[in-house]
Structure 1
Amino acid sequence: MSNKLDTQNLHAIINSLPQQFLDGYKSTDVKISADTKKIVFCGMGGSALPANLLKTYISTAKLDFHVSIKINRDYALPKAVDQTWCGFFNSYSGNTEETLFALKEAEKRGLKNIVILAHTGELKKIAEKKKYSFIQIPDAKQPRMAYGFYVGALLKVLKNSGLIKFDEKNFAKDILKAQSVVTTLEKQAQRLAKSAKDKVILVYTTNKWKYTKLFY
């Protein structure tokens, strides 16, 4: 329930991240070529973060995955990207100028595997018109708080495509485990918040976890 300090109910949204992850995983039947060797993920700012988090998850979970993922936060695609790559283009609004430009460049370079992620906007229209693979991002007052859904959906695309291997039963158990410790983690966060009152906060981490710290 929202209150005057949390008018958009972000507290509940954060606590729902494990369920978001599961919802995202169940949400899509999109697949890309099983021969894919390289992926470019295009999005500006926080729109590219789901790919960073996906890479973090794959690495820490030690999943069997051998595809290179290049993350692009720019108008132009990296020079190496050609028709053999798969392109993911993400913008919650669907109207991010840089992402739309990168998509046009991908089309010029002849990319055949294109996946679009958006809630609405021009990207969604393009996906519908050109029959591109499309992942519908649910309504979120704060798009950056829907990362659980994004990562779950991206993981499912890789699974659908035979590009990653893991036991789905164990995966489901891990989600349930994550849900079960939400209350414990929240209490830890509350204790940290009290001890950090009136102090300057410095967050540091190892390279492996560097993108998770951005949620602080």
Structure 2
Amino acid sequence: MKVLLVEDDQALCTALARALTDAGLLVETSGTGSDADFLVRTERYDVVILDLGLPDGDGTRWLAQWRADDIDLPVLVLTARERWSDKAAGFSAGADDYVTKPFETGEVLFRLHALVRRSHGHAHPVLTVGDLRYDSHVGSVTRAGMPVTLTAQELRLLACLMRAAPRIVSRTELSEHVYDRDSEPDSNVIDVQVSRLRRKLGGERIETVRGQGYRLVAIE
């Protein structure tokens, strides 16, 4: 999962980004609404965490503009404003969820996973493709009931393929879900990651579609 965290409190931003990264998420940060606006229009994210009290305008202003421009990625508002009127304003602007500060990092993590699941049409926290199961709450993968150990990058890549299945996923899309915008991976890095996944999961599970990308195949 690739997350854009928009928060101008540097200490809070750093701590939350570290906690989410430790949980296996790919996190990029922004301290202003204008920078976040540029990023959501030029980069691919699974979800946005948005503070409301930004130095260059209320977060609801930016959120409302995204929705007006048909930018429909899930947005979790994370703010100290806890009055009902503030919550109503956030949801009216287009928020998908709302968490007030102070907060438990675990709650934020669960809510992020739930938002991304729903955006891909999955209601249950466990994704299943054939005999592969990925529990997004705990970040565990099993194959035919047996645990599979994956690196953080391999897990993000597999989760992307599982959420998309049976759709073909391009190398570009996979790269955007595995690496942050400041990384410049070699052209064959995704191929190498896919090869490693095949060794751990079975080569027949990930199909290469020439000129298009990869597709996860359901095997019972």
TM range (shorter): 0.3 to 0.5
> TM-score under structure 2 normalisation?
0.39
Q: Which has the higher strand share?
A: 2
Q: Which has the higher helix share?
A: 1
> TM-score under structure 1 normalisation?
0.40
